[in-house]
Amino acid sequence: MVNSSEIISNTLADWAEEHAIDLGFSQPGRPMQNSYVERFNRTYRAEILNKYLFKTLSEVRAITEEWMDRYNEERPHDALDDLTPFEYAMALQLLENSNLDCH
Distance from C-alpha of 52 to C-alpha of 96, rounded to nearest angstrom: 43
Asked if 71 and 77 touch (Cβ cutoff 8 Å), the reply is no
Catalogue the long-range contacts made by 69-73 (C-beta closer than 8 Å, 24 or more residues apart).
71/43, 71/47
pLDDT category of residue 2 using cuts at 50, 70 and 90: low
Q: What is the pTM of this model?
A: 0.54
**What is the per-residue pLDDT across 16-49, written as a single tens digit (0 to 9) for each?**
999 999 988 778 877 777 788 888 889 999 999 9
**What is the per-residue pLDDT across 35-87, written as a single tens digit (0 to 9) for each?**
888 888 899 999 999 999 999 999 999 999 999 998 888 889 888 899 988 89
- Domain spans of the chain? 1-51, 56-103
pLDDT for residue 1 is more than 60: no
Distance from C-alpha of 16 to C-alpha of 10, rounded to nearest angstrom: 10
